[in-house]
Amino acid sequence: MAGILKVDKYQDFNGNDIMTSDGSGNITLSSNMTTAVQAAGATNTPSFGAKLSSNQSLTTGTYIKMELATELWDTDSAFDNSTNYRFTVPSDKAGRYMFVGSGNIGNISDGGDIRMSFYKNGSDSNQGKIRYFAGGSGVGIYFTSSAVIDLSVGDYIELYQFATSGNHFAASETYLYGYKIIE
C-alpha cells in the first residue's frame, strides 16, 4: 500500500525546525541540518604530503629545516616546496591540523642524539617532539612523530631535525604530511 505525506515543515520533538518547504519544491534546511549535511560530505582538506628530493647534509648540534622539495600531493596549493618548504594555512581554513613527520639519519655515533620538531611560525611548537639516542656506532635511526596543532589563517608549519652525529638525512625516508581535522 502506497501513501503520500504532505507537509510544509518538519520539526523535532522540541518544536525546532529541521526543514521547511515553500510548496513549490524548494526545501530549506535549518542551520543545524545544513552543518550536519556539510559534515557528512566534508573532507580532510587542506592536506599535503612532501619529502626530501635528495639526501640533505646535516650541521651537527643544530636544528635544520628539512628542504622538502618533492610534493606528493597538495589539495589547496598551501605547501611551498621551492622556497620556504612549509605549509601555510589558506584563507578560511583555520582549525585543528594533524601533522606526521619522519626522518632517517645514517652513520650515527654511539650515544648520538637525534631530534625532530614541528615549528609553528618559525619557532618550536613544543608539540610532537621526539628524541632518540643511538645505541651503537655507525647505525642509522628511522624515527617518526605526530602532533595535533591549532592553526589560524596564515600560520605555517615547518619540519626541523637535529643530530649530534651522522652523515645526512635520508631523502627516501624524510617526509612531512598534514591535513585539517574534521570537527
pLDDT of 70 reads 97
Residue with the bigger pLDDT between 68 and 130: it is 68
pLDDT tens profile 54-67: 999 888 888 999 99
Q: Options 3.20.20.140, 2.40.340.10, 2.60.120.40, 3.40.50.800; which CATH number does 47-180 get?
A: 2.60.120.40
Backbone angles phi, psi at 110, to 5 degrees: -55, 125
Domain ranges of the chain: 9-40, 47-180
Cell digits for 75? 589539495
Band (pLDDT 50/70/90 cuts) for residue 26 is: low
pLDDT of 29 reads 61
What is the distance, to the nearest Å, from the Cα of residue 44 to the centroid of all Cα atoms in its chain?
Answer: 9
Band (pLDDT 50/70/90 cuts) for residue 114 is: confident
Quick check: 74 pLDDT over 60?
yes
Q: CA-CA distance, 69 to 71, in Å (whole number)?
A: 6
Q: CA-CA distance, 97 to 175, in Å (whole number)?
A: 16
Hey, which residues does 29 pair with through a beta bridge?
A: 19
- Residue for cell digits 619529502? 51
pTM assigned to the model: 0.75
pLDDT tens profile 146-181: 999 999 999 999 999 988 887 788 878 899 999 999
